[in-house]
Structure 1
Amino acid sequence: MYDIIIIGAGTAGISAYKEAIKKTQNILIINDGPWDTTCARVGCMPSKILISTANCMYEIRHADNLGLDVKSEIDTSRVMQHVQTLRDRFTRATLKDVESWPSQHKISGKAEFIDSNTIQVNNQTFKAKSFILAVGTTPAIDAEQKQILGDKLITSDQIFELEQLPKSVAVIGSGVIALELAQALTRLNVNTTVFARSRKIGSLTSPVLQKLAQEELSKELKLKFEILPEHYSVKGDLVHLTYTEENVQKMLQVNYVLAATGRRTLLNTLSLERISAEFKDLKKLPINPHTKQLADYPIFIVGDAHTNTPIQHEAAHEGKFAVQNCLKFPQIKPIKMLTSLGILFSTPQMATIGQSYKHLQDKNTEFVIGYVSYEKQGRAIVAAKNKGAAEVYVDTISHKLLGAELFCAEAEHLAHLLAWMISEERTIHEILDKPFYHPTLEEGLRTALKHARRQLI
């Protein structure tokens, strides 16, 4: 009997293995599919390579904003070759690490539970005192659409395998993945149309910033809010889709339909209902949000297998600390929660840090909003990136910074500063005592913080 069996070798599973091997050799990790993580193969890394190339092209085209006249051309086959070359570099690094593990510690195959202590893989059974489930997710696909469109329906799992970018794409969805890819494709000369189920884009919950983001990104992207395609057909090399806009039926022809409506958990592959009949409905799994424990079993579910925020650093953190609970079961402790930090790599970038506007509203928290527009912010103007705004949320009683939402240039860096401030439970007065160099984008945060402080006096 193993001390721990880890199912899934993505970011959370690999993190769990690296922690477990420090404490016991009696472990097994099982993985169905590639061993190179979703992040490295089809997620964070290849998408950021594509985005970086697209943004560079955009800045070349708009170099006149900086007093320059620059010309350039796009060869999308070279772009995709570049994406795949760098992507393969990142996946090789992960695989090299995995290949160094002892062969007796790892198995490739599909795992299914027989009971709470037993799993079956490749017609073999294995028992463990505890389990870590880190099976991750897969893109959500409409089965009927897939039947009609075949290989013309792609997801983020397939788009990075294309030899060259298509001339046109319809993106279904307006969340993080949809928005990042849609803007990158548009900047690389792909005629891109985005169909959004709701009037919401990205991750922002602030009504002010959400409206601003919609207005700003609509200048560049073809955004169809509250509109979805109604009918699909494939004719030759093109997908024909129809939709209704302002009571008028319209048709669009594209090379591909990119489904980016979210991801679904792979927990359904594990036959959890064999442990308990109540586990048949995955949406109602009794998972403790603080310990990640499944009911009262020595089973811990980590990473994006059961979360609405598939974030790499959180998955790694949960995988590591779940090991401690496995080895000390039944004396388990809550996993220390990291300050919430989500970043969307659009232009301008979006970020949500700590408690969002919606979360604070739902909790009826008394807070003030500090606001800054980046349209007139000095350093943003100098860099020709003077778009968007930022909000900071400050508790009216403790004066502590509770959260923030950003829609501005370099939000990825500003967000880290804010996350660290929140994790240290700093008051707005302590934060404003820190240095803010001139001229920097960080000065915009000072403006927002000062705006909040004026409301507290």
Structure 2
Amino acid sequence: MYDLIIIGAGTAGISAYKAAVKYTQNILVINDGPWDTTCARVGCMPSKILISSANRMFDSQNIAQVGISTESSFDTTHVMSHVQALRDHFTTATTKDVQSWPKQHRLSGKATFINSNTVEVDGEHYQAKSFILSVGSKPVVNQEWKDILKEKFITSDEIFELKKLPSSLAVIGSGVIAIELAQAFSRLGVKTTIFARSKRIGILSSPALQALAQQQLSKELNIYFETLPISVNLIDRQVELNFKHDGEQQTERFDYLLNATGRSSLLNALNLDKIDSQFSDIKKLPIHPQTKQLVNLPIFIAGDAYTDTPLQHEAANEGRKLVSNCLNYPKIESVKNLTSLGIVFCSPEMAIAGQSYKQLYEQDIDFITGFSSYEKQGRALTLGKNIGGAEVYIDKKTRKLLGAELFVNSAEHLAHLLCWMIQQEITLDEILEQPFYHPTLEEGLRSALKHARRQLSSI
């Protein structure tokens, strides 16, 4: 019997193994599929490579914003091969690391549970005192559309395998994956149209910033809000979409349909109902939100197999922390101890640090909002990136920073600063005592913080 079996060798599983092997060699990692991570292979990294190419091209085309004239022409023939080559660099590094593990610690195959301490792989049984389930997720697929469109229906798992950029692309969804990829392909010259179920884009919950984002991104992207295809067809090797928008029936054709409507857990492949019949519906699994424990069993779930924060750094943290719960069972501790941080790499970038506007509002927390527009912010103007704004949320009683939402250039960096401030639980007054160099984008945050302080002073 093993001390620990880890099922799934993605970010969470690899992180868990590296933590566990420091304490025990009686360990096994079972993995079905490639021994790399979703992030490196089909997620974070290839998408950011594509976005980098797209943004370089877009900035070159709009260089007049900083007083330079050019008549550049662009050849995008090699964009996808560049994405694939650099993507392979990242996946190779991960795979090489995994292959350095002792062979007796690795097993390729599909694991299914026989009971609470036994799994089966290719007819063989393996027992453990505890388990970490880090099987990850897969893109949601509309199987009816997939059957009709065949290889013309793609998800984020397949889009980076395209040999060349398509001429046109329909994107279903308006969340993180949808908006990042849609804008990147559009900036690379692909005729791109977004079909969004709701009138919401990205992750922003602030009504003011959500409106700003819709307004700004609609200038660059063709977005049909509150509109989904009624039917799809494959005509002359093109995707034909029939839909109703503004009361009118319309038909458009595209080279591909990218379904980007989220991801679903792979936990259902583990036959958890063999442990307990109540586990047959994975959407209703009794998993503790803080400890990630499945009821009172020595079975824990890490990463995006079951989470409302499907993020690489969250998965890595959970993988590490859960090892302690497994090896010290039944002594259990919380593993959800990081301040929330979410980023969308569109342009301008979106970010939420700490609690969102919606979370604070729904909890009926008494807070005030400090706002700063970046349209006239000094550093943003010099960069030709003067778009969007920032909001900070301050507790009226404690004057502590509770959260922030951003729709600005370099939000990925600004959000980290705000997240660290929230983690340290410092007050508005203490934040404003810190240095803000001139001229920087951070000064825009100071403007939002000062706006909050003025409101507090008037109370």
TM-score (norm 1): 0.99
Q: Determine if contact 1:77/1:163 at 8 Å carries over to the other structure.
A: no
What secondary structure does 1:219 align onto? helix
Match of 1:188 in 2: 188
Q: Determine if contact 1:60/1:71 at 8 Å carries over to the other structure.
A: no
Alignment of 1:247-258 (within 5 A): 247-258=247-258
Q: Does 1:32 align with 2:32?
A: yes
Match of 1:451 in 2: 451
Match of 1:420 in 2: 420
Match of 1:363 in 2: 363
Match of 1:221 in 2: 221
CA distance in 1, matches of 2:312, 2:2: 27
Q: Determine if contact 1:292/1:302 at 8 Å carries over to the other structure.
A: yes
Bigger Cα displacement from structure 2, 222-231 vs 328-337:
328-337
What secondary structure does 1:286 align onto? coil
What secondary structure does 1:85 align onto? helix
Match of 1:287 in 2: 287
Q: Determine if contact 1:51/1:180 at 8 Å carries over to the other structure.
A: yes
CA distance in 1, matches of 2:249, 2:210: 28
Match of 1:207 in 2: 207
Q: Does 1:374 align with 2:382?
A: no
- Cα displacement (A) at 1:336: 4.8
Match of 1:4 in 2: 4
Structure 1 alignment gaps of length 5 or more:
none
Q: Which amino acid aligns with 2:327?
A: L
Q: Determine if contact 1:74/1:188 at 8 Å carries over to the other structure.
A: no
CA distance in 1, matches of 2:336, 2:81: 41
Match of 1:128 in 2: 128
Which whole-Å deviations, capped at 9, do the CAs of 1:406-451 have from their partners, x for residues lacking one?
0000000000000000000010000000000000000000000000
- Cα displacement (A) at 1:404: 0.2
Match of 1:168 in 2: 168
Which whole-Å deviations, capped at 9, do the CAs of 1:58-114 have from their partners, x for residues lacking one?
000000111112343333330011101110000011011000001110111100000
Alignment of 1:281-360 (within 5 A): 281-360=281-360
- Cα displacement (A) at 1:208: 0.5
Q: Determine if contact 1:394/1:401 at 8 Å carries over to the other structure.
A: yes
Which whole-Å deviations, capped at 9, do the CAs of 1:371-417 have from their partners, x for residues lacking one?
00000100000000000001000000000000000000000000000
Structure 2 alignment gaps of length 5 or more:
none
What secondary structure does 1:371 align onto? strand
What secondary structure does 1:2 align onto? coil
Match of 1:23 in 2: 23
Match of 1:386 in 2: 386
CA distance in 2, matches of 1:263, 1:71: 42
Q: Which amino acid aligns with 2:62?
A: H
What secondary structure does 1:13 align onto? helix
Match of 2:88 in 1: 88
- Cα displacement (A) at 1:19: 0.3
Which whole-Å deviations, capped at 9, do the CAs of 1:342-399 have from their partners, x for residues lacking one?
0000000000010000000110000000000000100000000000001000000000
Q: Which amino acid aligns with 1:384?
A: G
Which whole-Å deviations, capped at 9, do the CAs of 1:37-73 have from their partners, x for residues lacking one?
0000000000000000000000000001111123433
Match of 1:404 in 2: 404
Which whole-Å deviations, capped at 9, do the CAs of 1:317-343 have from their partners, x for residues lacking one?
000000000000011111251000000
CA distance in 2, matches of 1:217, 1:138: 27
Match of 2:55 in 1: 55
What secondary structure does 1:23 align onto? coil
Match of 1:97 in 2: 97
What secondary structure does 2:199 align onto? coil
Q: 1:71 to 1:107 in 2, by over 3 A?
A: farther
What secondary structure does 1:347 align onto? coil
What secondary structure does 2:394 align onto? strand
Which whole-Å deviations, capped at 9, do the CAs of 1:136-164 have from their partners, x for residues lacking one?
00000011111111110001111111110
> Considering only aligned residues, what root-mean-square deviation do their CA atoms show, in Å?
0.7
Deviation >2 Å, runs of 4+: 70-77
CA distance in 2, matches of 1:440, 1:407: 16
Match of 2:158 in 1: 158
- Cα displacement (A) at 1:308: 2.4
- Cα displacement (A) at 1:123: 1.0
What secondary structure does 1:149 align onto? helix
Alignment of 1:64-79 (within 5 A): 64-79=64-79
Q: Which amino acid aligns with 1:261?
A: T
Q: Which amino acid aligns with 2:105?
A: H
TM-score (norm 2): 0.99
Number of corresponding residues: 457
Identity of aligned residues (%): 61
CA distance in 1, matches of 2:331, 2:149: 51
Q: Which amino acid aligns with 2:141?
A: I
Q: Determine if contact 1:303/1:314 at 8 Å carries over to the other structure.
A: yes
CA distance in 1, matches of 2:211, 2:188: 26
Q: Which amino acid aligns with 2:206?
A: S
Q: Which amino acid aligns with 2:427?
A: T
CA distance in 2, matches of 1:116, 1:70: 66
Match of 2:260 in 1: 260
Match of 1:242 in 2: 242
Q: Which amino acid aligns with 1:443?
A: E
- Cα displacement (A) at 1:33: 0.5
